[in-house]
Amino acid sequence: MLRYVREDDAEGLRRYYGREDVTRHLLDGPWDAEHAVDQARYRSGRKHITQAGFATVLVAELADGAEAGRLVGDISLWAVDDSLSHGEASWVMDPELGGQGYATEMARAVLDLGFRHYGMHRIQAQVESRNQASARLCERLGMQQEAHLRRNWLIKGEWTDTLVYGLLAEEFAAGET
Ligand SMILES: CC(C)(COP(=O)(O)OP(=O)(O)OC[C@H]1O[C@@H](n2cnc3c(N)ncnc32)[C@H](O)[C@@H]1OP(=O)(O)O)[C@@H](O)C(=O)NCCC(=O)NCCS
């Protein structure tokens, strides 16, 4: 189940953002407890896309079973420019629950939100070039690799390459039918 972030999600987010293997390809992390509290508070205020740079930030939680309510991962969608029709998405999963298609399920739902609710015409994802799991996710979603940018992001002191994946509204609609 996807829902908005709450301030009391700090511990649930830290469970996976506290891991080095999860944050290896991300700009920051691993998180400590204080950073998790700050992030949960900040993200709980990110609900609507009303201007460039503004995001909707959602967490996915297990909806039923013995671990109902456990956070599976989180996903953000924001507007790249003031037209609000060009979006970008970013996702992170708890690896203990990885490899079962949950990230694919939450990303499809957020692409649907971007294209159908916000009326976006293009949604992109930027992936550190060695992040094979994220690149495979883009491909499962029907996104096309459009660019390979060289040494354009400074991640934890290292200049890294970025793969840019994109999906157009008509491609998403065709894949849904
Ligand atoms: C990127 C990330 C979210 C992908 O997570 P994931 O667990 O591979 O993705 P899913 O939950 O969709 O699971 C897909 C995998 O499960 C398999 N799978 C099993 N059942 C499935 C199902 N019903 N539907 C889809 N895939 C399924 C797929 O084959 C795939 O495995 P493969 O990649 O080895 O082929 C995760 O690796 C992550 O959080 N990484 C750290 C943070 C990060 O780098 N984020 C990206 C920033 S750009």
- Consecutive H or E run containing 126: strand 122-128
For 44-74, the pLDDT digits (tens) are: 999 999 999 999 999 999 999 999 999 999 9
Considering only CA atoms, which residue is closest to atom 17 of ligand 1?
99
Residue 58 CA to ligand 1 centre (angstroms): 17
The residue range of the domain holding 166 is 2-176
123 CB within 6 A, ligand 1 = no
Which residue from 91, 102, 130, 141 has its CB within 8 A of the most atoms of ligand 1, so it is best to mutate? 91
β-sheet bridge partners, residue 165: 125, 145
Could you give the number of structural domains in the chain?
1
Q: Which CATH number belongs to the domain containing residue 167 in this structure?
A: 3.40.630.30
- pLDDT tens-digit profile of 153-172? 999 999 999 999 999 999 99
Mean pLDDT of 136-144: 98
In the predicted model, is pLDDT for residue 132 greater than 70?
yes
